């Protein structure tokens, strides 16, 4: 089996210890046309996480959206998700308003990453790469 293509419709790899990342991924309602969605914490021991790290994806720099044909990272992942949400409700309307505009997604995403890093530091959490290195050294 080729691990770059999930058996499901969409694989979303995100920081499972980030309160905001968790809330965001759980609130998304993607269109039925994308197929089944799997949420995967980048801090898990799942081999697919290491597969994407080995391919050069820095999961501290952004979440990944893996479809049957493409891999989207960071702002591109948010943009892709905004194009495939159902659009129902206030959260998705705001998400769509911001991230359907690629230039705005590219501008805003670094601020979101900074906010995530600050939040993790305030909660005494390490970044994903540090967490994975500590697991591998023990």
* Domain with 92 in it: 10-137
Q: Are 11 and 42 in contact (CB under 8 A)?
A: no
Query: What are the structure tokens assigned to 93, written together?
Result: 């309307």
Residue 29: inside a domain: yes
Which residues are within 8 A (CB) of 118 and not within 5 positions of it... i.e. 6 or more apart?
A: none
Q: Is residue 20 part of a domain?
A: yes
Q: Which pLDDT score is estimated for 50? A: 93
Question: What tokens does 137 get?
Answer: 């050294």
The answer to the question of residue 32 being in a domain is yes
Please give the model's pTM, rounded to 2 decimal places.
Answer: 0.85
- Of 68, 82, 111, 70, the C-alpha closest to 24 is 82
Residue 111 CB neighbour total at 10 angstroms: 9
| In a domain? residue 3 | no
Residue 33 domain-assigned (yes or no): yes
Q: Higher confidence at residue 124 or residue 131? A: 124
Domain count within the chain = 1
Whether 5 maps to a domain, the answer reads no
Per-residue pLDDT of 76-119, as tens digits, reads: 999 998 888 876 777 777 878 888 899 999 999 999 999 999 99
């Amino acid at each position: 089996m080729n691990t770059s293509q999930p058996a499901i419709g969409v694989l979303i790899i995100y920081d499972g210890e980030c309160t905001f990342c968790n809330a965001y991924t759980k609130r998304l309602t993607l269109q039925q046309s994308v197929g089944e969605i799997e949420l995967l914490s980048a801090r898990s021991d799942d081999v697919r996480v290491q597969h994407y790290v080995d391919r050069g994806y820095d999961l501290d720099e952004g979440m990944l959206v893996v479809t049957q044909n493409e891999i989207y990272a960071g702002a591109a992942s948010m943009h892709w998700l905004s194009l495939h949400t159902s659009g129902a409700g206030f959260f998705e309307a705001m998400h769509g308003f911001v991230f359907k505009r690629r230039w705005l997604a590219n501008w805003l995403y670094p601020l979101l990453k900074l906010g995530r890093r600050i939040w993790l530091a305030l909660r005494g959490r390490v970044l994903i790469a540090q967490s994975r290195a500590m697991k591998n050294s023990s």
